[in-house]
Structure formats: C-alpha cells, structure tokens
Structure 1
C-alpha cells in the first residue's frame, strides 16, 4: 500500500441502499457557483426511480475533492471509495453485502485499461440483446452531444430514461441497470460542466456503472467513482 493519505476525520459516513425498487427524492448537491458552463437547470430527474445513484455519486466526489489524498494504485482508490461510502442519506438501510470495492480490483483494472470499455462490458453484461443495443446507441449519441449545453444533454438523457421506463420489452433488471447508469451519467456531466471541465472519462465511467449495476445500484455508482478517480490520477494498476 503506497502513500494513501486520507483526511478521514472530515469524511461523512454515507448510508446507501442497494435495491431494485427504491424511489425517493433526489438531493441536489451541485454548488451554484460561477462558471462558463453555468446553467439554470439541475441534474435531477425524479421520474427515474434510481436517480439517487447520480446524486450520491456527485456528493461523494465533492467530499473527496476536499480531502488531501495521494492514492497510488487501483487498490488504494477502492479503499478510499469504500471509506467514504457508507451512510448517506441517513434514512436508507444498507441492503447489499456485496458492494465492496476492494473485491473488484481486477475488474476495475480491466475496465480502466480497456480500449473500448463500453463494448467490452456490454459483451459480458446480463442485459438483454435489445437493451444492450439501446444503451450503446444512447452512449454514442451522448458522446456526440457532450460538448453542447448541459440543458440539451439533460433533456436528451431524461427523454431516453422515459423511453426506458415505458419499454415493455425490457426486464426489471434491464431497466435498473440502464437507469442507474443514466443517472450517474447525468449527474457526472453536470458536475463537469459546472467546473468548466471536459467530460473526458465519461464513457469509461458509464461502462463501470453498467458493470457495477449488474449487482446493485450502489456498486454501480461506486464503480463509476473509482474508475473516474483512476483516470484522473493516471492510475492503471
């Protein structure tokens, strides 16, 4: 373990629910600060029953950005994520015993080092054939739109989520995985736009969210966080 410096004294403990049926109010966490990409629209979409995934993703990321850490390996990043992802919001009950990032190191390394992570992840995903095609088409469209105004991106994602919710061919697992992923993408892009940053690692983060969401919502958002931090710190092993 190399130089993992955490200011854990200031880190809140988050309670997260891993459930396929969770619905609830979204907690908007993005700060309304000046930016070249400042928008009047928030990242939330309360019609998505897994919208909390993206909200918690951004909440944890903002907490991490206020800490002084120097993780040097994928394993250290997973320990960091597990350390801050426990109790949030407080009214939720931890339902999953298999959302621990430290058990996913080899999977994360595989995703981080993939030249085409979304295709590789979908190839082994439990998603149905039509659901895989739908998600891949959406991701490609999202990449093309990523340089545009956030309002347009938000509208596109929300419209896609409405289509997923109304699709009678997709299974409940298909919908859970896709809607967890779109929530993380919607909030992640919002955070990057507010900070005047390019959404450079977006597709790989989406792939990580899909991979984790196979198990549950919490693992989906934690996988996305972990892969994003690995990319931002040029960590591949």
Structure 2
C-alpha cells in the first residue's frame, strides 16, 4: 500500500473567467477543452501487450469530452468520469463487471498540487529496478521536450514505440516493471495523440499539462490496469481545466 501524502476530502478547482466560458452549477462549456477524438487508430501499438489500457483510456476520454457541459470541481470530475467508465463495456471487462469506485482523491490532489518534486517519488514507488527508474525518467523528460518541438505525431509515436520495444525486450526487468511501464506508455501514447489533435489556445499546446496524466497513470499501474486508466484520466482532466 502506498503512503498517502495528503488527506483532502474536497478541493474546488477554479477556472479562469478571462475567457468567454459559460460556467453554471459546477459545469463549464466544452469549447476550449480537449476535443473528442473519434478515431485514435494512429496511436495504437499492437506490439505492446498492454495497449488496451491506452485504447480504453482514449474511449473514456472521448466519451467524457463529448458532453455539452463539463464539471469543473474535482468531485464533479470524479463522479462524471467514474459514471462514464462504469458505462463502458471495455472498462467493465477489466473489473469483471464490478462497478468501479474512485478512491484516490488524495493521490490526484497530491499530483496536481505539486509543481515539481512528485515525479521521483512516484517512480521510486512504482518501478522496482533502479535502471528502469532512470530509463523511464529519461523517457518522459525527452518525450515532453519533443512534444514542445515536434508537431508531427508520427515522430512522437516512433519515439514512444522504440522505448516500449526496448522495455519489452529487456530480459533483466521483472514482469511487474514491464507491465507497469507498458501500461503507462500506452496511456501516454494515446494521450499525446489526443493532445496533438486538441485545438490550440493562443498557439500554446501546453505540454506541461501532460505530466500529471503520465505520472498518475504510472501511480495507478503499480496497482492495476483499471487504476492506471482512471487515475490518469481524472488527473489529465483536472490538469486541462486549470
């Protein structure tokens, strides 16, 4: 069981009112958030045995953002995302048709409230092998830099897939570390695709908003596929409503 750093029962996330968003009853117009991506086939890597994690994450992300209005409080985001997940057959196949309960408010709060510093803690908790920890940290750092410089998704895709192949073929890694990393990279790869398709605000792709999504997915992947999907999903949504 991981230590929990904060015990916050409720946190309200404020949205800037400088844009012409319609905010009523805890919801926000969907106009400036990630647009729904109906076809993410470009993001699939069939060589990753855990790629279903990213595909299901993408299904839930698309369904969530297809709503006309969206919640902007953490409790509202969690409720809506969980409702979406529990109505998704692919996700329910992971939970053996048992309704999912999101019990990680403190982990999301911890990640989104820390500007820096949480990455190493989550890597150390989630990945057992020291070399794999270092490799994953380098992968994320280089990927985020590449996302700032590169507009062509296929270039980013090739970079992620190359890392996944190296992890998959590494005979020195435990099955736990391989699964944890490959679940996370699948969610990351599909997340990069979604954000590359996002309408740009003032031509600013805001790649820093991917950090929490990636590390929340890693945090959850250490426990289960469904936790990786849901922690990554909720944290990514929270990041993009700030």
TM class by smaller structure: 0.7 to 0.9
In structure 2, the partner of 1:205 is: 213
Higher helix share: 2
Deviations 1:21-56 (A, max 9, x none): xxxxxxxx9446xxxxxx9x8001001011111111
> Could you tell me how far apart the structure 1 residues matched to 2:95 and 2:180 are?
19
Map residues 1-237 of structure 1 onto 2, 5 A cutoff: 3=25, 30-31=37-38, 42-86=42-86, 87-89=88-90, 92=93, 94-95=95-96, 100-101=101-102, 103-116=103-116, 117-146=118-147, 147-148=149-150, 149-197=152-200, 198=205, 199-234=207-242
* Deviation at residue 97 of structure 1 after TM alignment: 6.7
> Could you tell me how far apart the structure 1 residues matched to 2:145 and 2:238 are?
24
* Deviation at residue 95 of structure 1 after TM alignment: 4.3
CA contact (8 A) 2:184 2:218 kept: yes
> Could you tell me how far apart the structure 1 residues matched to 2:101 and 2:236 are?
17
* Deviation at residue 219 of structure 1 after TM alignment: 1.0
CA contact (8 A) 2:164 2:185 kept: yes
3-state SS in 1 of match to 2:184? helix
Q: Structure 1: 5+ residue runs without aligned partners?
A: 7-28, 33-38
* Deviation at residue 80 of structure 1 after TM alignment: 1.6
CA contact (8 A) 1:4 1:69 kept: no
Q: Structure 2: 5+ residue runs without aligned partners?
A: 1-9, 13-24, 29-35
Number of residue equivalences: 204
Moved more, 151-160 or 195-204: 195-204
CA contact (8 A) 1:57 1:184 kept: yes
CA contact (8 A) 2:212 2:239 kept: no
* Deviation at residue 96 of structure 1 after TM alignment: 9.1
* Deviation at residue 143 of structure 1 after TM alignment: 1.1
* Deviation at residue 125 of structure 1 after TM alignment: 2.6
CA contact (8 A) 2:92 2:99 kept: no
Deviations 1:124-173 (A, max 9, x none): 33432122111101001101211312111000000100000000111111
Could you state the TM-score of these two structures normalised by the residue count of structure 2? Answer: 0.75
With over 3 angstroms needed to count, the CA separation of the structure-2 counterparts of 1:97 and 1:210, relative to structure 1, is: farther
With over 3 angstroms needed to count, the CA separation of the structure-2 counterparts of 1:73 and 1:213, relative to structure 1, is: same
With over 3 angstroms needed to count, the CA separation of the structure-2 counterparts of 1:136 and 1:196, relative to structure 1, is: same
3-state SS in 1 of match to 2:172? coil
3-state SS in 1 of match to 2:126? coil
CA contact (8 A) 2:94 2:225 kept: no
* Deviation at residue 92 of structure 1 after TM alignment: 3.1
Could you state the TM-score of these two structures normalised by the residue count of structure 1? Answer: 0.76
In structure 1, the partner of 2:7 is: none
